Amino acid sequence: MIWLINHTDPLGVVLHDLIQEQQQDVVAMTTMAMPRYAAIGQDQGREVLWWQGNCYPLEAMQLVYCGVLPTQSSGSIPSEKIKDWLYVTNAWQAWLRYGLARVPLSLGVLPDTCWIDTWRHIASLASLAPRYGMLAPLYRYVQGASYGDNYAYLSSCMVDNVDCFSVYKDDSVLAVAIPDGHWLQCAQVGNTCYVIRCEQGHWAPYRLSHNQRAAIGRLTRAWGLSVCHYVMRQHKTGEIGLYGASPRLDAQIVSTYLPLIRHHLQKEYLAQCY
Amino acid sequence: MAIVLYGRSCDPVLQYFCHYLQQQESIVVFIDQDQLGTHITLDQVGWHWKQGPSLLHQDIVSVFNRSASLHPAISYPMAQQQYHMRAWSWLDYECPMVLNRPRFMMSNTSKPYQSLRVRSCGLSMPRYACLANVRMIATDEPLIAKSISAVRSVVGPYVHKAGDSVQEPVLFQARILGDNVRVHVIGAMVVAIRIRSSAVDYRYAEDVDYTCIKLPDAIRQSCIDISQELGLPFCGIDLIYYDSAYYFLEANPAPGYNAFERHIQGNPISQALYGLMQPGV
């Protein structure tokens, strides 16, 4: 049995299509729908999850995929009910963390350290990059004034993709030096690293050196992740600087490498679930 | 070199430890998380007070972190949100010594998950079940019901009534009638306190007796293993001692240790914390 949660992100969609093509047993849900439509309990001494009238023992789950919704917002919540709502949300999230940890094979599941976002804060990346043979981004906190055109500006301390960099605006919080070179976007899926590089405004597949790919794999594992998207800058020397990280893969990189990613998911994950 | 206390000024644990550190004539700097972005800022060099000197990161020996998440129901100014994240990022990845790093304090947000993480550390575990959106059936086994997450609840015995149901996930645990033991792990140091009370949840009881006890070596080591597994050099582990066995309930990453230390002789926990926060430890 395969358990899909929040599978509407780019990698989740690929996985879901593959599962349907192969008619494998799957139960799919979103975290938003769980409080209303899921039930958990015990049946004949086994921990079980009920969903849409069917009963799924947790021990029967062989693979779980947990993706990232575009926004983790809750929608519109009446303010007088916020305390109850927070309690209920926390309770479901707490159970989900437990349930996910019970499944032997997992992909994309956010681990313990990623439930807060500090791991992908640019200051954290700058601190971690040299330990993995990468260059640290040069950044300055913006205190209400521009440092000039030599910098790119961010309105958040986290970089999801290259589009996050812009010119100085009132809400800019970080100024980041962008050295000459090329932008890279990298999708780490399990032990494989898929990279695209921007040249003259066009993204094309690119292959990093063995050492660079190994370093990215080590960093991803150090965070306890199996899926991670990176934004990097390749300097003219060939060295790469680490500028951003996100648990949600970019659609462009997934579509660029679609046949390879499908083959990878099939071989490394779905083939274990027959 | 300064010891930094980071959190809220109204926090009695910070006030208590601050008082102890001042008695040791330590250089202590208190950073109020609620003043971040308004009166206090943070950058790569250090912490800066609007009206006062700066504290350089290189002059900080260690941080006692009691900061809390920003409340999701409150709309904070953007600057405060950004500085809050900066501070946590600094605590998580840049500051060399922090008790405890925010990223490692997250295991406590799910009690069954935390139990799963530490189940190989050698302590017994009470039988438990997580239930949600189901109707309860009567059982002969005495149970207690508690919050499954880090949201605090009054822990009480579960009394079945016909037609009972649960909606949000709730943790039901076999009720063990024994002595509560709070174990504070501070690095390799362990301070265990037995708590006797007539109530299931002694935090809300009045007839409470606190006594320092010496744990068997194996149990002591199990507690240290749990703190290491969870990445929490300072934690408060709740055990129940019953029928010659110690049962693990949960590990608290931000223990309110002052409430225990004031009932025992001396300041063994504060002293051990102070020792752990010295340069080179």
Minimum mean pLDDT among A23-32, A233-242, B44-53, B201-210: which range?
B201-210
Rounded Cα–Cα distance for residues B131 and A39 (Å)? 7
Residues of A in contact with B85 (CB under 8 A): 117-118, 121, 157
Residue A77: predicted pLDDT: 46
Q: Do B168 and A113 touch (CB under 8 A)?
A: no
Residues B189 and B237 in one domain: yes
C-alpha B137: how far from chain center: 34
CB atoms inside a 10 Å sphere around CB A131 = 12
Residues of A in contact with B109 (CB under 8 A): 90, 93-94, 97, 115
Q: What is the CATH number of the domain that holds B235?
A: 3.30.470.20
Domain ranges of chain A: 2-110+262-273, 114-246
Task: Report yes or no on B73 lying in a domain.
Answer: yes
Looking at the complex, report in whole angstroms how far the Cα of residue A113 sits from the nearest Cα belonging to chain B. 5
Residues B151 and B25 in one domain: no
Q: How much is the ipTM here?
A: 0.89
C-alpha B26: how far from chain center: 24
Residue A149: predicted pLDDT: 84
Mean pLDDT of all residues belonging to chain B: 92
**Would an 8 Å CB–CB cutoff place A104 in contact with chain B?**
no
Average pLDDT over residues B199-207: 72
Task: Report yes or no on B281 lying in a domain.
Answer: no
Answer CATH for A2-110+262-273 from 3.40.50, 1.10.150, 1.20.1740, 2.70.98: 3.40.50
Residues B157 and B37 in one domain: no
Residue A74: predicted pLDDT: 46
Structural domain total, chain B: 3
Task: Report yes or no on B253 lying in a domain.
Answer: yes
Residues of B in contact with A41 (CB under 8 A): 129, 131-132, 134
Tell me: the pLDDT tens digits for A190-214?
999 999 999 999 999 999 999 999 9
Q: Quick check: A21 pLDDT over 50? A: yes
Residues B111 and B243 in one domain: yes
**Would an 8 Å CB–CB cutoff place A35 in contact with chain B?**
yes
**Would an 8 Å CB–CB cutoff place A87 in contact with chain B?**
yes
CATH topology of domain A114-246: D-amino Acid Aminotransferase; Chain A, domain 1 (3.30.470)
Question: Residue with structure tokens 């799957």?
Answer: A26
Residues B207 and B88 in one domain: no
* CA atoms within a 13 Å half-sphere pointing along the CA-CB vector of B204: 8
For A3, A60, A108, A174, B187, the CA distances from A271, given in Å and listed in that order, are: 15, 16, 17, 45, 44
Three-state DSSP class for residue A123: helix
Residues B170 and B114 in one domain: no
Residues B206 and B239 in one domain: yes
Q: Do A128 and B93 touch (CB under 8 A)?
A: yes
User: Which tokens go with B197?
Assistant: 């009370």
Residues B163 and B95 in one domain: no
Q: What is the CATH number of the domain that holds B17?
A: 3.40.50.20
Residues B228 and B253 in one domain: yes
Residues B185 and B271 in one domain: yes
HEC readout, chain B: CEEEEEECCCCHHHHHHHHHHHHCCCCEEEEEHHHECCCEEECCCEEEECCCCEEEHHHEEEEEECCCCCCCCCCCCHHHHHHHHHHHHHHHHHCCCEECCHHHHHHHHEHHHHHHHCHHHCCECCCEEEEECEECCCCCCCEEEEECECCCCCCEEECCCCCCEECCCEEEEECCCCEEEEEEEECCEEEEEEEEECCCCHHHCCCEEEEEECCCHHHHHHHHHHHHHCCCCEEEEEEEEECCEEEEEEEECCCCCHHHHCCCCCCHHHHHHHHHCCCCC
More confident residue, B150 or A178: A178
**Would an 8 Å CB–CB cutoff place B134 in contact with chain A?**
yes
Residues of B in contact with A118 (CB under 8 A): 85, 88-89, 91-93, 102-103
Print the domain residue range for B25: 2-99
Amino acid sitting at position B246 = Y
Residue A80: predicted pLDDT: 54
Handedness of CA B7, B11, B13, B14 (dihedral sign): positive
Residue A162: predicted pLDDT: 93
CA dihedral A236, A240, A245, A248 (to 10 degrees): 80
Q: What is the DSSP string of A198-253?
A: EETTEEEEE---HHHHHHHHHHHHHTT-SEEEEEEEEETTS-EEEEEEESSPPHHH
State the maximum Cα–Cα separation within chain A, in Å, rounded to a whole number. 67
CA dihedral B100, B101, B104, B110 (to 10 degrees): 70
User: Which tokens go with B68?
Assistant: 């809390």
Mean pLDDT of all residues belonging to chain A: 91
H or E element in which residue A30 lies: none
Task: Report yes or no on B33 lying in a domain.
Answer: yes
Q: Quick check: B238 pLDDT over 90? A: yes
Task: Report yes or no on B34 lying in a domain.
Answer: yes
Residues B49 and B31 in one domain: yes
CB atoms inside a 10 Å sphere around CB B127 = 10
**Would an 8 Å CB–CB cutoff place B102 in contact with chain A?**
yes
